[in-house]
Structure 1
Amino acid sequence: MKSEIFNLPDAELEYFPNFLNTEKADLLLDKLLKEVPWQQQNIKLFGKEIPQPRLTAFYAEQGISYTYSGLQLKPNSFSTELWKLKQATEELSGFDFNTCLANLYRHGNDSMGWHADDEKVLGKNPVIASISLGGIRRFQFKHKTNKDLKESIELQHGSLLIMKGSMQHFWKHQLPKTKKEVAPRINLTFRKIN
């Protein structure tokens, strides 16, 4: 499968624009929109509790939990579709995953601010495999110390983005709001929690 490699300092970033064909991606998007137990949790921002600007669901192998931004996520068992996607992602990337955080961005106002996936439970150099379904959104990166280093990518329907190496130590990423008319987007992020 053809991929694009981004030559970023202190990072490894590989993008597969056609990880899933359009028919498979359409079917999966429709099924996940209907069947995932989406929820909107409150997060603390500057001392205030506000609703998270997207919906989420967490899937994990038995006995695994995940906490980020003060949220304790209760795991669901992997569905057949998500398990198959996990296996396909592992086969392509050469890495093992035991969790999936699903995010639903309902419209352009749903977003994810600047952050790095660098929690201790993810290990020293975490690998994050991220599948995009639905509306095309711009995904942005910026280096933590060199302000001149920035990158962005339009994440296509059915694509897979793999962030690895020391990327989470040196780079932050975000999915910003957009005023453009955009279809709902699901993002499936596979990780390994130790």
Structure 2
Amino acid sequence: MNNVSASSLRTRYLVRVGVLGALGFALMFLDMPLAFIAPPFMKLDLSDVPALISGFAMGPTYGILVQLVKNILNLSKTSTGGVGELSNFIVGSGFVLVSSLFYKRDRSMKSALIGVIFGVMTMSALAMASNYFVVFPLYAKLMIPMETIINMGKAVNPNIDSLGKMMLLSVLPFNIIKGAINGLVTFMVYKKVRKYL
């Protein structure tokens, strides 16, 4: 009987993952650049909110699965050859994993807040590492030269004259802002939607 219940619960959770993943994908269309800090190809959206809600409500694994579904769906409309989706998945999964692990230990507002703070820190560190070593070099190899990418950053901030400075002066603050906004929106809606999960 317990096996049937566990199987039924998993099935319900996976259905919710599909719905939340589709919602995350839809939210990717409602994006905007942060022109004061990042080049135009880096855009702010709220697509991490469904994954964070899933992580809080059902556990870290399901939050990461929502990130996976969202990015697989986004491959159908991408112009980045999958590079942007890889970056989004790595960074978003780190954010959701750390945030929801904290909340899983102690389901309180304080724990959720601490989790999101550490989640944003993880997200930002992963963004710098993955973009420096993997994503930007892949962009440069498949799409546009690295010099062009750096010049796009320099157009936003004249102090950006290398990939390392782009990570510190653009990628880092962009991800801190993105994570903080996604975390704030999650706090605003979580209690209202939790009962449906």
- State if a TM-score over 0.5 links the two structures: no
Higher relative contact order (CA 8 A, sep 6+): 1
Tell me which structure has the larger Cα radius of gyration: 2
Greater helix proportion: 2
Could you say which TM-score interval applies, normalised by the shorter chain? 0.3 to 0.5
